[in-house]
Structure formats: C-alpha cells, structure tokens
Amino acid sequence: MMLQKGGTAMPFELLHFRDSDKILKKKRMEKDIQATLEYIDLALSGFLYKRELLRQVLDEMGWRQNGTLNILDGRRYQYKGLKKGVAIEGNFASYEYILEGLLRLQVGYDKGNIETGILLLNGQRGEKTPYGSTSELAKSEVEQLYPTISMSVSIALFELGEPWTFAESGGDSNGISDETEPEGNEP
C-alpha cells in the first residue's frame, strides 16, 4: 500500500522535524533525496534481505562515495550514506530502530560531521497496535526525545511489502517443484 502525501500516492512518507526540509532545500538536495528514496522503494520492495540492496542503491546514487561514513573515529560504526553534510541511516527490520537511528545521527550532528540526517524506517506495524498510525507515532516520539535528540532530522517511512519466496511461486531456485505428499497419506 502506498502512503498518501498531498493527494498523490507515494511509495513512502517523508516527515521533517525542526526545519530539516529547509536545510535540504538550502543544500539543493530535494530532487536527489526524492530520487534516492524512490529508488530504495523500487529496489527493496518484496525482498527479504535488504541490507546489501540498500548499500548498492546508495552507492549508485552517490551516497557512499563522500569520504568516510564513520560515526566515531577508530570504530566501525558507519552511516548507510553521506552526501553534502546529510547522513542517511536506517533499518527496515522494525520500526523500533527509531531510537538507535536517531541517536547515531545525533552523535554525528553533535560532533559537527553532519548538518541533518534522514532516517529510513519500516512503516508497517501490527494492525492491533494501540499507538495509531506509524506517522503519528514517529511525530510523537521525536517530540518526546527532545532535548536528547535535538537535531533537524527527516524520517522516511516505507511500506516495502511482504517478502516473496520461491516456495510461493511453486518451486525452488532450481525449477524443481516443492510439492510433497501431506503427512498421513502414505500408500
């Protein structure tokens, strides 16, 4: 399902906090970010393993070629991407990555390495959640995390769909049918 923004269907929802949209506009990165987020949606939709695909997309879009992606000197903590002082961080496994992702971006901001960041998150949550929409929850949590998380930040919520498998398509990767006799129906 695509998220709605301003009457047009979009494959993701982009939320801006503390004037992050103004920073992106000043840096003339609006079209670049829109194209990157659309490409992420296209490349990752329906796939189970997303980490390497995300890395390839960000590399192709020039987000992994700008010097170091390190968050802390001497450590292996890295952003997913970095371009013109804007970091991309994210995880599509669960929405709950919001806290860790915001913290990672805040560290880079406090050290003067980035001006703003974009956090990529899974927008899908359980149907019975008592917290309302994912968008409402993200807005509430960013506000509650202030002043600990005080930077300008954008959050992109994706609905990448359920992963498909070969078993669902009637066979495995060798083209061999996965049909077996149900248990208890022995001749």
For residue 120, being part of any structural domain is answered with yes
- Report if residue 181 sits inside a domain: no
Residue 174 placed within a domain: no
Strand 86-91 relative to strand 116-122: parallel, antiparallel, unpaired? parallel
What is the rounded distance in angstroms from the CA atom of residue 89 to the CA atom of residue 51? 12
The answer to whether residues 85 and 116 touch, using CB atoms and an 8 Å cutoff, is yes
Task: Please indicate, yes or no, if residue 187 is contained in any of the structural domains.
Answer: no
Q: Please give the residue range of the domain that contains residue 116.
A: 31-126+152-161
In a domain, 185, yes or no: no
Per-residue pLDDT of the chain (187 residues; tens, 9 = 90+): 344 444 445 579 999 999 999 999 999 999 999 999 999 999 998 777 788 999 999 999 999 986 789 998 888 899 999 999 999 999 998 889 999 999 999 999 999 999 999 999 998 876 777 777 899 999 999 999 999 999 999 999 998 876 655 555 555 544 444 444 444 444 4
Whether 82 maps to a domain, the answer reads: yes
Split into its structural domains, the chain has a count of: 1
Pairing of strands 86-91, 153-158: unpaired
Asked, for residue 99, whether it belongs to a domain, the answer is yes
Residue listed under structure tokens 């995880």: 91
Furthest-apart CA atoms within the chain: distance in Å: 73
> Which pTM value belongs to this model?
0.81
| Alpha carbons 14 and 158: distance in angstroms, whole number | 9
- Where does the chain show beta strands of DSSP type E? 3-5, 8-10, 12-17, 81-83, 86-91, 116-122, 153-158
Q: How many CA atoms lie within 13 A of 144 on its CB side?
A: 8
Residue 67 lies in a domain: yes
What's the CATH code of the domain at 51? 3.40.91.20
